[in-house]
Amino acid sequence: MSGILIAVLAGWLTPQAAPHPSTLTPYVAPVIRPFEPGSDFGRERAEGDVANVAHRRPLTAPVTVEAYAGSYEVTPTDIEIAYEQGVASAEIRADQMAGPLDGAWRVVDATGATLYDLVLMDAGFGPVEGGWRDPGSTGVPRSGAALSDGRSLTLEGGGVITLERTGGGWSGRLTLDGETRPVTLTRPD
């Protein structure tokens, strides 16, 4: 029995024939070398921060064009850039969430004369609040609060405008002191 075990063990330990060398593909270097980081990889500073002077002395006199040697302002750091990007992103998100009446508006009559300038805050839900002023009044300009429920715009002391959505703005009818006339709300220039 021990003879059989020795024969089996000898078969396992016998070297196997390798494939013929002509069937193996020789190594060829790639046409484009892979990324090989430099010796300072991970230890270099960000580009904008390399030769940055954080605090420069204030200008005490005008600088002539001939004396200009670079930038008058300090290059922003990565943290300052990230902060500015965050502020811009928050402003974009707030603008996207705002309702259709948000912002500055001008109320004009059928002849194109400006009746009121409005500034409204529309959060996209709930009542729209803001203010108005009469740019054509002489002396102390007339002004007051503005409130809208989406169908009408009440101008405190300036009448009520029934609203109807049109293209890039609003149209409606202004009722003031019992008189009604057509008006249009457009964005100021």
pTM for the whole thing?
A: 0.54
Contact 175, 160 (CB under 8 A): yes
Structure confidence by residue, pLDDT tens digits, 12-49: 666 666 655 555 666 666 555 555 666 776 666 666 55
| Under 8 Å between Cβ of 128 and 101 | yes
Q: What is the pLDDT of residue 8?
A: 62
| C-alpha separations of 86 from 75, 78, 82, 90, 93 in Å | 18, 12, 6, 6, 11
Exposed, middle or buried by CB within 10 Å (0-12, 13-18, 19+), for 183? buried
CB contact at 8 A, 147 and 127: yes
End-to-end CA distance of the chain: 105
pLDDT for 171 beyond 80: yes
pLDDT in tens, 70-123: 665 667 777 888 888 888 888 888 888 888 888 899 999 999 888 899 999 888
